[in-house]
Structure 1
Amino acid sequence: MTSKASDLKASVLNAAIVGCGWVADWHIDDGLAHLKDRFRVLVSCDKDIERARSFALKHDVPRVSGDLEQVLAMPDVDVVIICTPPSLHYPMIMACLKHGKHVVCEKPFVASLAEVDAVIEAEKVSSARVMPIFQYRFGDGLAKVRHVIQSGLAGRHFVSSIDTAKRRDADYYQVAWRGKFATELGGVLLTQSIHIHDVLMWLIGPVKAAACFKTTRVNPIEVEDCAVASLQMLDGSLASLSATLGSARQVTRLRLCFENVTFEKVGYDENSSRPGDDPWTVIPRKPELQDAIEKKMAELSPASKWFARQYELFHDALESGASFPVTLSDARASIELVTALFMSNDTHTVVDFPIGPSHPKYHGWFER
């Protein structure tokens, strides 16, 4: 690749999956498998070579590797999809950019704002580009809600409440890298609720200040598995966050109260990971607004969802040179929020945004 836009004349991009666990299965089953006219999974790579082979057999991947450097030396690999434990993301992203390979990277993106900023600078001088994964954004229901908000029809935002109630029992932490700061980077604020918090900022805008309490009560692990937080958004509106890994049933709830309408979404079990899907509950403040809101929502055509939609838009952006559907600025906002929440808990203070290089936790929210 010699430019930021793809130089490939063919429409198919060759991808390598690095890290062949269950998240990688999602990337194929709910994403790339639906876009075979745009992507070909060429390589499965994992330090556990038997896991890489098993993954390749399952998904009909022609090549297997146990080493990222070997993958980066393959001239026909266009995109590297990073699905490894979080602590490995940053060095792998930087290696990919050095070799001119486009990157798709799972959350949490990296371990500090310093690392995000380093990736941003590295991308500027690379022929390749980086897209963070936030698949919760994509679905017809959420697209309609965002369209109404952006049109101005919803009016001013007042307050939102966002609940992430997941269940993670002891067997989940039998995987060696989970539950440890050094490898998972954090708990419910990093691995589970980070998605829905990104959705909040995508809909409402940047955060101005944050206060948080977090604790570990569900499992005997290093990282947090329960948290609550209060946010002041840049526009002066407010949001409350709650998150736990101790819910008997998995559920996510969003309630967004605007001047002219309230939006609600509740998802249980498997649907707790798909807030983008229809239906959303839409409650106009006045009956006469119902028709205007329905007409505004009807302006959008149905589209694919979840991983498939994010990868579809990624491909479009590489061909056109346009912005990715999730940007490095979005990743930075996500990591900035995490940094602020940890700082607030540790110091019992309200943390103001933006957070820059002089901040005590700019280089990370835990000791390394």
Structure 2
Amino acid sequence: MLRVGIIGAGGISDAHIQAYLAFPEECEIVAIADIVPGRAASKLELHETLGAKAYEDPLQMLAQEQLDLVSITTPPSSHASLTVAFLRGGVNVIVEKPMAPSLEECDAMIAAQRESGKVLSVVAQNRFRDDMAILKEAVDSGLIGSVSHLRIDSAWWRGLAYYDLWWRGTWESEGGGCTLNHAIHHIDLTLWLMGRPSQVTAMLANAQHDNAEVEDLSVAVLRYGRGLAQLTSSVVHHGEEQEIVIQGEFARISQPWQVAAELPRPNGFPVAGGNTALVNELNALAEAHAPLPHRGHAGQIGDVIAAIRDQREPAIDGDDGRNAVELVTAIYKAGIEGEIVDLPLAPEDPYYRSGTLAQRAPHFYEKRASVTEQSGEIIVGASTSASND
């Protein structure tokens, strides 16, 4: 039975709590910590059956509890220090997205994992969704051929008050805007589906939130071989209509699931009706998908539990988390410096280091309010969209 601790008692911690409760024979939540006085205790009041202990100092929890696994669900700026401390303390770690605001911090976390021999997993729960798994299976099948174009719309909408929460809305505490903290899910999915691009260019804007330093909109173009991908990251899109569309050599597939496949006439124009045989084959592939036993956070936490039990690597590790942060960093560098950025980013690059982004990024506006708590439900969008906190 794994003894589990949770650091951070904000809204996203509930997803972790519910995920652990899906595995009652394998784990038990024994402690919750949050630096805001009374917050961990209040979280335990909402989950009366846990029987866990509340702490206001995560390091005190580390010292007093015999933990096997901890979930870190705190603001991004604290991810690296907490992850390193708990790994070095002999505890396996699953840390919420984004892994950390800088590649320098990501590499320190990975180094601590390798030194400790413990499991480190970065939350990318949307890989544990049937619709995304089907898309991945279709790409890997080779049926669509080489990819010509990928369009990713990470479209969210947030009101002005969203950035009043104390850690949101500044480059230093949040690490970035919608590109880092909302589109990170779609960025991870892009890397999962396509791998690392070779080049990135981008533009950043703050279109509607004049109470935040950070961007609320970015548009990036990524180069993949002979093809291109375009990624829109936003918290200004009404309707939150999110989509991944992959245009291949032979067919187009998308999430939500849709298939189209053209055939050429002798003059190059498309044949009416298209390639129905290929459309049918891709639809059959989708229908043959075996539903995942656990989805979202439960799927990933179940994998981490199994990785600890079986002494193997988790499905999503520190390198996966780092790769997503690297692409976000390249988008920021391209947008701030106005240049095409080649990947991978080297340790000698100024944007690799902690603090560079806060020093060089524009303050689109100054943060006007800072509250420690916000009441109300965390809304994560439609069921077909990638969830976010």
The whole-number CA distance in structure 1 between the counterparts of 2:96 and 2:177 is 15
CA distance in 1, matches of 2:98, 2:246: 25
Partner of 1:170: 160
RMSD: 1.7
Shift of 1:187: 0.5
1:47 to 14, 32, 35: 35
- The superposition leaves residues 204-248 of structure 1 with CA deviations (integer Å, 9 ceiling, x where unpaired) of 111110001001121121111111110002x33210011221222
TM-fit CA distance, 1:161: 0.7
The change in CA–CA distance for 1:75 and 1:46 in structure 2 (over 3 A counts) is closer
C-alpha displacement at 1:185, in angstroms?
A: 0.6
Q: Supply the distance in 2 between the matched residues of 1:128 and 1:72 (Cα, whole angstroms).
A: 15
Cα shift readout 1:268-311 (whole Å, capped 9, x = no counterpart): xxxxxxxxxxxx22334421123432443455421121111111
Q: Percent identity?
A: 29
**CA positional deviation for 1:75:** 4.6
The one-letter code of the counterpart of 1:210 is: V
Distance 1:265 1:297, change over 3 A: closer
Matches within 5 A, 1:1-368: 12-29=1-18, 31-59=19-47, 60-61=49-50, 62-220=52-210, 221-233=212-224, 235-266=225-256, 280-285=257-262, 286-303=275-292, 304-364=294-354, 365-367=356-358
Q: 1:134 Cα deviation (Å)?
A: 0.9
CA–CA separation in structure 1 for the residues paired with 2:243 and 2:280: 25
Cα distance in 2, alignment partners of residues 260 and 180 from structure 1 = 44
After TM superposition, where is structure 1 displaced by more than 3 Å over at least 4 residues in a row?
294-300
Partner SS, residue 241 of structure 1? strand
Max radius of gyration: which structure? 2
Paired with 1:108 and 1:148, the residues of 2 have a C-alpha distance of: 27
Question: Under a length normalisation based on structure 2, what TM-score does the superposition of the two structures give?
Answer: 0.84
Shift of 1:18: 0.5
Q: Secondary structure at the match of 2:156?
A: strand
* Larger CA deviation: 54-63 vs 88-97: 54-63
Give distance in 2, aligned partners of 1:328 and 1:356.
Answer: 17
Structure 1 position 53, deviation (Å): 0.7
Could you say which residue in structure 2 is the equivalent of 1:277? none
Tell me how far 1:127 sits from its aligned partner: 3.4
Q: Offset of 1:148 from its aligned partner?
A: 2.0
Count of aligned pairs between the two proteins: 342
Q: 2-side partners of 1:187 and 1:109: how far apart?
A: 15
Q: Under a length normalisation based on structure 1, what TM-score does the superposition of the two structures give?
A: 0.88
Give the superposition deviation at 1:315.
1.5
* Residue 4 of structure 1: aligned partner: none
**Structure 2 letter corresponding to 1:357:** P
Q: 2:24 and 2:258 mapped to 1: Cα distance? A: 34
Report what 2:385 is aligned to. Answer: none
Q: Which runs of 5+ in 1 are unaligned?
A: 1-11, 267-279
Which amino acid in structure 1 is aligned with residue 35 of structure 2?
Answer: K
